[in-house]
Amino acid sequence: MWLSLNRKNILIDPGPGSLIRIFENKLEPEDIDIFVLSHRHLDHVSDINAVIESATKSHKKKKDLLIAPNDTVYGDDPVVLKYSLKGIKKVETIEENKEIIYEDIRIKPLIKHIHNNVENYSLGFFTDNKTVIYVPCGKFYEDMLYAYPENPDLMIFNTTFVKPVADINHLSVKDVEKIIEKSKPKKAILTHFSVMMLKYNPEKIAKELSEKLKLEVIAAKDGMKIFF
């Protein structure tokens, strides 16, 4: 995901093919100000080193900030190479109750996720007039209903299943519906679909949620642009 806030560009979870997608959408890696990783699984980080290499012109033009869980960068099996860190001016690790400030943007972990023995957090991106919430992979639990600010401008949900699947730590449509109903975002996006979810038609699911919850819910597509 490429998020633009207050004239700053934030690249979030660059998984497989991210660098190609950036060029396909006529964006420039050099324009990225902040890299953000929610957790270390390859479908969220596999292109991080390639994107850093491109964005920094092989470290000749360092980028300001990488935000990521500790195990992603400094763990026993880090996914961000030490070589890549040479292109980053500052690394901020994500920790509970830690707010990261970059100029006029505040980035804050909102709740820790239960997700297959990796560090993983929902993240809030705040400016004076915009609030964006990213809810990555993880198992639903009741505390999530109270973790998010009310009426954010945009909420992005990794919505893997239609219904909860026992022993698999991913959100379902049922889980996301509960969170949306409580937080009441101005706009919500569903993404990160399993094959099962695709068979049920994410656009149809989003439309049904929109009608039921009386707010805008959108099913993500590759290359989609959202204005808010």
pLDDT tens digit sequence for 95-108: 988 999 999 999 99
What is each CA distance from 98 to 95, 124, 191, in whole angstroms?
A: 5, 11, 26
* Whole-angstrom Cα Rg for the chain: 17
Q: What is the pTM of this model?
A: 0.96
Three-state secondary-structure class, residue 209: helix
d(Cα 47, Cα 119) in Å, to the nearest integer?
19
- Contact status, residue 170 vs residue 190, Cβ threshold 8 Å: no
Q: Which residues contact 26 (CB under 8 A, 6 or more apart)?
A: none
The per-residue pLDDT for 161 is 97
Domain presence at residue 47? yes
The last residue of one of the domains, among 101, 122, 149, is 101
Residue 83 is assigned to a structural domain of this protein: yes
Parent domain of 27: 1-101
The span from the CA of 122 to the CA of 139, in Å, is 12
Residue 22 in domain: yes
Residue 41 lies in a domain: yes
Contact between residue 216 and residue 183 where contact means Cβ atoms under 8 Å apart: no
Per-residue DSSP letter, 176: H
Q: Is residue 20 located within the same domain as residue 88?
A: yes
Clarify whether residues 86 and 172 are in a common domain.
no
Residue 130 inside a domain? The answer is: no
Q: Residue 7 has what pLDDT? A: 95
Low-confidence stretches of the chain (pLDDT beneath 70): none
Domain stops at, among 101, 116, 148: 101
Q: Which among 78, 101, 124 is the end of a domain?
A: 101
Q: Are residues 97 and 7 in the same domain?
A: yes
CB contact at 8 A, 136 and 44 = yes
What CATH code is carried by the domain that includes residue 203? 3.60.15.10
Q: Over the stretch 121-162, which tens digit does the pLDDT of each residue have?
A: 999 999 999 999 999 999 999 999 999 999 999 999 999 999
For 9, the token pair is 């560009």
Say if residue 14 is in the same domain as residue 96.
Answer: yes
State the pLDDT at residue 185: 98
Torsion of CA 26, 202, 69, 22, to 10 degrees: -10
Verify that 55 and 148 share a domain, yes or no: no
Residue 9 lies in a domain: yes
Do 13 and 59 have their domain in common?
Answer: yes
In-domain check, residue 131: no
- Residues β-bridged to residue 155: 133, 188
- 115 inside domain: no
Please tell me the predicted confidence (pLDDT) of residue 171. Answer: 97
Same domain, 47 and 94: yes
- How many domains does the structure of the chain reveal? 2
Distances from the Cα of 47 to the Cαs of 73, 133, 179, 184, in angstroms? 14, 22, 30, 33
Task: Please tell me whether residues 150 and 66 are part of one structural domain.
Answer: no
Verify that 89 and 145 share a domain, yes or no.
no
- Whether residue 219 is found in the same domain as residue 164: yes
